[in-house]
Amino acid sequence: MRVPSTISKKPLTGIAGITAATLLLTACGSGDDGGEESGLDTVSVQLDYQIRGNHGMFYVADELGYFEEEGIDVEDIRTGTGSPDALRIVGDGGADFGFADLPSLVTARSQNVPVKALAVVNQSSPLGMCTVADRTPLKDIDDLRGLTAGIHAAGSTFIFYEALLAANGMERDDLEEVSVTPPYENYLIQGRVDTVPCYIDAEVPQLEDAAGGEGSLDVLLGSEHGYEVYGSGLFASDEVIENNPDLVQRFTNAYLRAFRYVVDHPAETATLLSEVSPELAGKADLFERQLQADIDHTFSNDLTEEHGLGAMDEATWQSTVDTLAELGAVDGSPPAVSDVYDPTFVEAHKAGS
């Protein structure tokens, strides 16, 4: 299995529900000698941030041999420092495929970063506003008024914050803002701010542990309060899509097959992720809680019931573009919907499955 370039490699000890024979066969054919020698197409993947649950599809597809069955060797899965950087790295040819916040992709596209979404992972945004419940109850959007908010004025969380307020007739002046730098969650736990934007499938489980356990946070989900945009997803550059559509199709096939496995086997996926490196040992419970939040809230909806996991809808893409344009989060004219996503690969996978 390929691991992020920033994390040392640790042998996997096994995954519940997967036989040792399967793992051995996968390891033997994983292309350790390089894509050229094995006859596989070698690619690299750029993640948006450090490993979390919804990155599991890449590791499942690699570990269980789905990429290899599609003639692909994933040479490297690199962790990142945020969606904007991941989008630019892939757009500049520094990686073949990537994972990022899709509203950030729209913003990047308006800045002439040539990338398109291939599959949606979070059908609704996993972003919300968090408070420590016993200190600052947050039951309704109006409860945000007058709170001290920890804000990092860049990236996906700031776009969300502005959009959530605008969708509910509020302005930034309705809160007291404190500029914070990532990772900014400790500001909330220490009581230095009342609320911060948070991902229910990333830091929320960790914040709960720090705040006193399950139920210790109040979370106001943006998707339930007018923030009608996509969350994160798989993407590639225009150049890769146009010059090698067969490779893109095969990669998407393996990824979506792994997506199904992740949804059906969150515990096994969490164990796999915790065995990627020594630094992640002991985090299986965290990864499983992250995945369960997505399974409960963001991975599926009526569209995926009909068209399969990863499906994309033009109307939701248009809502995403329009929301960002109204906020002034795009440079110049907003990009056309056809410029920010390509649904043909997910559709072809569904037709062939």
Answer yes or no: is 15 within a domain.
no
Domain count, the chain: 2
One DSSP character per residue, 33-102 reads T-HHHHTPEEEEEE-SSS--GGGHHHHHHHHTTHHHHTTEEEEEEE--S-HHHHHHHHHTTS-SEEEEEH
For the chain, give the number of residues: 353
One DSSP character per residue, 293-304 reads HHHHHTS--HHH
Query: Are residues 186 and 307 located together in one domain of the fold?
Result: no
pLDDT along the chain (353 residues), means of 10: 35 39 36 62 97 97 98 97 94 98 95 98 96 96 98 84 93 96 85 95 90 93 93 98 98 98 98 96 96 97 96 95 88 94 98 90
State the Cα–Cα distance between residues 254 and 4, nearest whole angstrom: 19
Nearest to 61 by CA among 243, 305, 294, 234: 234
Domain that holds residue 80: 20-124+230-352
Decide which of 165, 191, 224 is a domain's last residue. 224
CATH of the domain at 209: 3.40.190.10
pLDDT of residue 35: 58
pLDDT of residue 353: 82
Query: Are residues 253 and 334 located together in one domain of the fold?
Result: yes
Is residue 179 helix, strand or coil?
strand
pLDDT of residue 37: 66
Query: Are residues 212 and 235 located together in one domain of the fold?
Result: no
Decide which of 224, 243, 273 is a domain's last residue. 224
pLDDT of residue 16: 39
Answer yes or no: is 88 within a domain.
yes
Answer yes or no: is 3 within a domain.
no
pLDDT of residue 17: 41
Is residue 122 helix, strand or coil?
coil
Is the CB of residue 149 less than 8 Å from the CB of residue 160? no
Answer yes or no: is 11 within a domain.
no
Query: Are residues 118 and 267 located together in one domain of the fold?
Result: yes
Query: Are residues 120 and 246 located together in one domain of the fold?
Result: yes
DSSP 194: S
Answer yes or no: is 52 within a domain.
yes
Is the CB of residue 66 less than 8 Å from the CB of residue 18? no
pLDDT of residue 311: 98
Q: How is the beta sheet containing 196-199 ordered, strand by strand? A: 196-199, 127-132, 217-221
Decide which of 203, 224, 245 is a domain's last residue. 224
